[in-house]
Amino acid sequence: RSKSSLSNKAEERLLNPARGSAIEAAREFGIDLTLLIERLRLTPEERVRELQRAMNSLARIRGAARKAG
C-alpha cells in the first residue's frame, strides 16, 4: 500500500480542533470529520479507484431503473 495523504499532525488537528477554528465550527455544525479523515488516509490512487467503483454502481442502478420504468 502506498503512503497515506494524511499526516499525523493533520489528523490530530481534525480529531482535536483548536477552539474557535473553522474545523471546530464544522464539527459543531454536524460535519463528520472522521469520514474526512478516513478518506484522506487513502492515497489519491485509492480514492480514484473507490470513486470509479461508486460511479460504476450508480450507472448500473440508473440502467436498471430505466429498464424498469
DSSP string, the chain: -PPPS--HHHHHHHHSPPTT-HHHHHHHHT--HHHHHHHHTS-HHHHHHHHHHHHHHHHHHHHHHHHH-
* Model confidence band, residue 5 (pLDDT cutoffs 50, 70, 90): confident
**Gap between the Cα atoms of 66 and 41, Å rounded:** 36
pLDDT one-digit tens code per residue, 17-50: 999 999 999 999 999 999 999 999 999 999 999 9
pTM of the full structure: 0.66
| CB contact at 8 A, 36 and 5 | no
